[in-house]
Structure 1
Amino acid sequence: MPVPDLIRESFVGQLIYNFSGKRYFQYAEERPGFVCPRRFDPARRASWTGPDSEAATLSEKKPIPEQKQKEGEKDKNRVSVAEREEGATDTQDPRSRSSSDPERGIAVSDEKPDPNLVDWYGPDDPEHPMNWSLRKRCFVTFNLCLLTFSIYIGSAIYAPGIEDVAQKFGVSDVAATLGLTMFVVGYGVGPMFLSPLSEIPQFGRTNVYILSLLVFVVLQVPTALCKNLGALIPLRFLAGFAGSPPLATGGASLADMWAPEDRAVSIGLWGLAAVCGPVLGPLLGGFATQAEGWTWTIWILLWLSGASLVYLCVFLPETSSQTILHRRAVRLRRLTGNHALRTQAEIDAAHMTMGEVAQMTLIRPFVLCVSEPIVLFWNLYIALVYGIIYIFIASFNVVFIEGHGFNLGENGLAFMGLFVGALVTYAGFVPYAVLHLKPMFKNGIENFIPEERLPVAWVGSIFLPISLFWFGWTAAPSIPWIVPIIGSGFFTIGAFLLFQAGLNYLSDCYPRYVASVLAGNDFFRSMVGAAFPLFSTAFFHNLGVGQACSVLGGIAVAMLPIPFFLYKYGARIRSWSKYAD
């Protein structure tokens, strides 16, 4: 039964495929007329002598022209676990990988490849995510943005209901704020345990996303029905924990589909979706709390995430190359009866000990954070930005509700300044990425200098303190409310550019350990973001909005030299590291 590949690779598509006994949603290998590559078929392998004859088998009607021999890749079976554990080769463009098809200009090794190693059929293999059509990749990118937004909004949508929670449960506002902070702690801790599951070929990214989202949706029901704070806080933590995988692994899913020269635009859009969660959450939560109380912030979150779950079950395909190849290997083993067929990921997994797995998932993110100056500096910087995002939530209550007399719904509308700032920044960033960053890859990714990611961070580092000083010193009730809202818009300009530059820079500096670096960054910034709301209201009341924002602005000024320093000395620092490439 021919179906679109996108649906067949989705969670529902795989359920139908497996429960129907492989009769529905079949793959090319299972349809009549498929010719199995010669090296995988024991009955025909005797006539296979190496890459050239394999290419002839796959494309017998085309004469194979002479191809200049290129330097081959190192034998894949000798690549260390440390080099492969982060999925660095998983997201490679198939056009840069070793293949047996010299007609397409792919590097050919002098050594005969392992005949039992299941890889791509050629550089244009349609199952490789980087070979998907532009329309399909854009559609899947939108789906990942929707998934991220549906989780991220769960933190800030609760914020307008904090005072109502305090009144109904008879606790202080600080205690009620724990419902916000524990959610953030949950999605900071969760990736350390759940995200590594997406790197296991038998699981894949989509199954982890969908199953964790299902748990997230279910947890909203008892959360909305809570009658005391003792039940609310652990449920909010568990919800953040369960919803965490896409917040840390979404960037890896995009890297599965987009080549490095296009990645800045796609990850920028994903980052925009992440920013929209905390920004639009108070808008929806404010009107909901004002009309029906705090529980309706949770019911809205349930409807939004539940609708996303139903939609993504059908329209979010698997993007992990390791998982796609694993499924191919399973089909070829069944088709040929050759049970020795294995993917490189299966070979690597067979040689990994539990100690290596623990080091990869739990220990290495902290080691990199402490021992690598580049990682430490950016984690501190991004954590500051993240903390200020959440402290803004409290400052808006002080400025617009207490100072300008806004109600909860109107206070939520004040966050639109942050939203508009993010949209304008992304619209301006896209031409920069296309016209300036993309041409730098024309000589190959190996010649791209990671520090070229940092000039946009220069702009962001300047806008950040400008926004804080502007907002703080125009927050007085005597000044029109639109003035501080405009100032807040400059904050998201700075935040977006710093996130965009920082996360891409870390990924480029540590391609073999990108999962560990980004998981550590997510944990670090989430811990800081969770702590800030606990003292933010007292901070603004005791110092005053102007002085409090000046303190934050002063810290931002002190950290402003970081991107300039790393642009000048980053390459030298990387040369001292045993982790950086």
Structure 2
Amino acid sequence: MIPNNQKKMTTDDIVPPGGADVELAPVPAPAEAKRDDDPYLVAFDEPFDADNPKHWPKGRKWAVTDVLSATGFNRIMVSTIMAPALPLIASELSMTTVESVMALSIYILATAFGPLVIGPLSEIYGRERVLHASNIWFLVWNIACGFTNTKELLIASRFLAGFGASSIYALAGGVLGDVWRPEERGRSLSIYLLIPLLGAAVGPIIGGFMAARTTWRWMFWSTSIFQAVMIAVSFTTFRETFAPLILKRRAQRLRRETGNQQYRTVYERLEEEKSVVSILGRALTRPIRLLAFNQITQLTSVISGFYYGILYIVLSSFSALWTDQYHQSVEISGLHYLAIALGEILGSQLGGPVMDCLFKYMLKRAGTDEHMPEYRIPLVFPAVLLGTLGLFVYGWTAQYTVHWIVVDIAIFVSTFGFQIKGMPLQAYVIDSFPEHTSSAMAANQFLSSLTAFLFPLFVPSMYSALGYGWGNSTLAFISLVIGLPAPLLIWLYGARLRAKMISTY
């Protein structure tokens, strides 16, 4: 069943249960704003405007995408690089097992709260300024992690570093939505995800070798060196992609050159009666309001959050499986993370093209040129089934210490399926919230980061009580309960929910 075509919306809140008064009429997207009846309205010239990020040359589009991708690699790698060295760090800094896991996970907790601030700020001050500021913030506190001599300072520095690193979760979706068209969504996501996904799994591999051959502090110093290089690259390569800010700068230039103060963008006109405090307050509360009242955000957040939590259960416990159950060295245990990396990388590279092909097929089948975000959803169902099957096999092969290659193949299949599952959900959020993509992504990331922080904390107790077999089987059963009905609700009712959206500008 294909959802009935609904009017395309460009706003980001929906009416809370019980109804609410419409605050503003839907606001046209910058590229859609017309100047036919208003010579002083500053908008992009159609059908082509070189300043419109969606009309940029492919080389410039890939440049800003690649900068984000490389930056994301380092920030995500830092989230997992400590995993193999936790026993060494705990011993040197006199940490309990819970405290050492906290030092690893607190970084992820920060990525829950950081995007709630950083995402809205990028929709006021632009992607470029926020990216540069967060890059420097992350660098300072990641260096501090390498020089800590107490457990309290390490945990605090990890949290502050994670806060700066979290900007990538809010900025990535916003920038991709700024520069790429819906029919290019799959390919752009594939290329963007290629390097960051490698970081999540390569981190423990690098960390394992560093822990065995040098001090664990080099985990932070080496990634800080890479971060300094990326700061230099981003300052020279990254360009502002947020259309409202680009238009605002054009309007400011026209007012300055002509002396005519009537030149305004549609967004400036909406803001001219508002105070700075009002604008900031509305922007900074937007992700929370989306999460509290927007059923689309709630559904996508629950799905993404659960599977992100599963990923971090695997990442935090995978090394212990090989050292405790298979009696392998720390260095060798880190190499098994390659199975996770390959699953996610191949999943992203296959999932993107398949998503684009499916999207074009759905458009052709519907007989319309108007894209529907719901056309992304069908790919979720087979991907969830495949990922759940891999998780189930991983649990029981690990339980009975079957040959390591079988365990690695099982976790490869699981991460492969779950990665494909995540891509259409990301594309759905980007397509559904074109004007406030960063805020919508921040709302989604909040629950994902919370589960990534909390789930590893109960892993030792879960595996101790249930073993790898029943422990992972329990997760697999919950995966089916969440991963199939929730996307089905989006597929059946997503268009209706989007039709109820009201402006929160």
Q: TM-score, normalised by structure 2?
A: 0.88
The one-letter code of the counterpart of 1:490 is V
Q: Deviations over 1:523-571 (max 9, x none)?
A: 1110111112222233223322112111111211222322552265224
In 2: Cα distance, 1:209 partner to 1:535 partner: 34
Quote the offset at 1:342 in angstroms.
2.6
User: Could you say which residue in structure 1 is the equivalent of 2:79?
Assistant: 155
- Partner residue in 2 for 1:176: 100
Counterpart of 1:205? 127
Shift of 1:157: 1.1
State the alpha-carbon separation in 2 of the partners of residues 117 and 569 from structure 1.
39
- 1:396 and 2:336 are equivalent in the alignment: no
Q: Which residue of 2 aligns with 1:29?
A: none
Provide the rounded CA distance (Å) in 1 between the counterparts of 2:287 and 2:135: 24
In the alignment, structure 1 residue 547 sits paired with structure 2 residue 470: yes
Aligned counterpart for 2:53 among listed residues 129, 141, 159: 129
2:154 pairs with 1:218: no
Tell me whether 272-281 or 155-164 shows the greater mean CA deviation.
272-281
Match of 2:29 in 1: 89
2:425 corresponds to 1:502: yes
The one-letter amino acid paired with 1:320 is: F
Which shifted more, 260-269 or 522-531?
A: 260-269
Aligned to 2:258: 336
Q: Mapping of 1:47-126 within 5 angstroms?
A: 83-84=26-27, 89-90=29-30, 94=31, 97-98=33-34, 109=36, 112-113=37-38, 115-126=39-50
Counterparts of 1:395 and 1:219, CA distance in 2: 26
* Superimposed CA distance per residue, residues 349-370 of structure 1 (whole angstroms, 9 cap, x where no aligned partner): 22335346424422x4334334
Equivalent residue number for residue 167 of structure 1: 91
8 A contact 1:383–1:524 mirrored in 2 = yes
- The correspondence for 1:535, drawn from 449, 454, 458, is 458
Deviates more, 1:467-476 or 1:116-125: 116-125
In the alignment, is the contact (CA less than 8 A) between 2:433 and 2:440 conserved in 1? yes
- Contact 2:248–2:265 under 8 Å retained in 1: yes
Equivalence map 1:188-267=2 (5 Å): 188-200=112-124, 203-267=125-189
Alignment partner, residue 384 of structure 2: 461
CA separation in 2, counterparts of 1:422 and 1:221? Answer: 29
What are the Cα deviations for residues 22-45 of structure 1, in whole angstroms up to 9, with x where unaligned? xxxxxxxxxxxxxxxxxxxxxxxx
Matched with 2:249 is 327
Cα offsets for 1:329-360 (capped at 9, x unmatched): 33333322334433333222223353464244
> Structure 1 residues 371, 120: CA separation in 2 closer, same or farther (over 3 Å shift)?
closer
For residue 257 of structure 1, report the CA deviation from its aligned partner: 0.8
1:474 maps to a residue whose letter is: T
| 1:131 Cα deviation from its structure 2 partner | 1.2
1:469 partner amino acid: F
* Superposition RMSD in Å: 2.8
- Contact 1:401 1:407 (8 Å CA) reproduced: yes
Q: Hey, what's the Cα distance between the residues in 2 that align with 1:576 and 1:251? A: 22
Instruction: Check if 1:560 corresponds to 2:500.
Output: no
Deviations 1:196-225 (A, max 9, x none): 12112xx32111101110111121222111
Q: 1:441/1:336 Cα in 2 relative to 1: closer, same or farther (>3 Å)?
A: farther
Q: Who is 1:352 aligned against?
A: 274
**Aligned-pair CA distance for 1:244:** 1.7
Q: Does 1:315 align with 2:237?
A: yes
Q: Name the SS of the counterpart of 1:218 in structure 2.
A: helix
CA deviations on 1:258-298 (whole Å, 9 max, x unpaired) are 11111232124334444333222111111111212321211
Q: TM-score, normalised by structure 1?
A: 0.77
Q: Select the structure of larger CA radius of gyration.
A: 1
Q: Percent sequence identity over matched residues?
A: 27
Letter in 2 for 1:134: K
Query: Which one-letter code corresponds to 2:456 in the other structure?
Result: P
State the alpha-carbon separation in 1 of the partners of residues 433 and 123 from structure 2: 17
Structure 2 unaligned spans of 5+: 1-9, 11-21
SS at match of 1:153: helix
1:444-491 CA-partner distances (Å, limit 9, x unpaired): 987333322111101121022211111111114742111111111112
2:220 is aligned with 1:298: yes
1:57 equivalent in structure 2? none
> Higher relative CO (CA 8 A, sep ≥ 6), structure 1 or 2?
2
1:416 to 331, 338, 344: 338
The whole-number CA distance in structure 2 between the counterparts of 1:350 and 1:304 is 42
> Using the alignment, how far apart are the partners of 2:331 and 2:255 within structure 1?
59
| Residues 83 and 204 in structure 2, CA contact (< 8 A), matched pair in contact too | yes
1:433 aligns with 2:369: no
Work out the CA distance in 2 between the residues paired with 1:445 and 1:333.
41
Structure 2: distance between partners of 1:130 and 1:568: 27
Deviation at 1:572, TM superposition (A): 6.9
The whole-number CA distance in structure 2 between the counterparts of 1:255 and 1:507 is 6
**Greater helix percent: which structure?**
2
Aligned to 1:488: 411
Aligned length: 482
What amino acid is aligned across from residue 248 of structure 2 in structure 1? H
8 Å Cα contact 1:365-1:517 kept in structure 2 = yes
Letter in 2 for 1:179: A
SS at 2:264's partner residue?
Answer: coil
Work out whether residues 81 and 348 of structure 1, in 8 Å CA contact, stay in contact via their aligned partners in 2: no
